[in-house]
């Protein structure tokens, strides 16, 4: 089981507790997002949208919670106006995905086995996916390349030529060889 630190502030006092979780989504890597977008319907009937970013959705499964202290902490955590979920140096500032209801689930339809699952939405809007390239991946990345081709005249890209003369680090792209690399398209 992994451990997350949950914290909330109420009445000027911050309460914090390490809680065991059976599973968690979007804590280590983004698993689910809510897009922040506005859909525009124009006078001619066409549609367009402005996407301003996304919010991370956190899904936490605490499993069966039997301790009355843990149940009370989770209840107070849900009622608090200010919350934090922390793990491995990452801090999330979550809001309830559905602020009106929370229901635990009785495991095997047994009242003494309440399973607690929370779906929270990070209040911070982001415009990046949040993943960092792994060792050895950086030479294959080039950010902010403007594509000017059309469907009738597509723009072709070749590494070490034109817009892809260098990678993101300013170096030449590595040479690919059929003997060394597997091409799966």
pLDDT at 17: 95
Instruction: Provide, rounded to the nearest whole percent, the portion of the chain with pLDDT above 90.
Output: 17
Instruction: Provide, rounded to the nearest whole percent, the portion of the chain with pLDDT above 70.
Output: 80
- Measured CA to CA, the distance from residue 46 to residue 98 in angstroms comes to 32
Residues 122-162: pLDDT tens digits?
888 877 665 555 555 555 667 777 878 888 888 887 777 88
Q: Mind listing the domains of the chain with CATH numbers?
A: 2-122 (2.40.30), 132-185 (no CATH)
pTM over cut 0.85: no
**Is the confidence at residue 171, as pLDDT, over 80?**
no
């Amino acid at each position: 089981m992994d451990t997350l630190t949950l914290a909330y502030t109420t009445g000027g006092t911050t309460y914090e507790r390490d809680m065991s979780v059976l599973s968690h989504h979007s804590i280590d890597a983004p698993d689910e997002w809510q897009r922040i977008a506005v859909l525009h319907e124009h006078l001619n009937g066409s549609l367009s949208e402005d996407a301003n970013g996304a919010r991370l959705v956190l899904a936490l499964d605490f499993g069966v919670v039997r301790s009355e202290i843990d149940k009370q902490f989770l209840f107070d955590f849900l009622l608090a106006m200010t919350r934090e979920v922390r793990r491995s140096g990452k801090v999330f500032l979550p809001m309830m995905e559905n602020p009106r209801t929370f229901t635990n689930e009785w495991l095997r339809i047994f009242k003494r086995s309440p399973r607690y699952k929370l779906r929270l939405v990070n209040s911070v809007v982001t415009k990046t996916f949040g993943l960092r390239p792994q060792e050895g991946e950086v030479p294959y990345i080039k950010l902010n390349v403007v594509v000017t081709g059309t469907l009738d005249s597509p723009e072709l890209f070749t590494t070490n030529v034109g817009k892809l003369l260098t990678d993101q680090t300013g170096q030449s792209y590595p040479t690919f060889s059929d003997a060394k690399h597997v091409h799966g398209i």
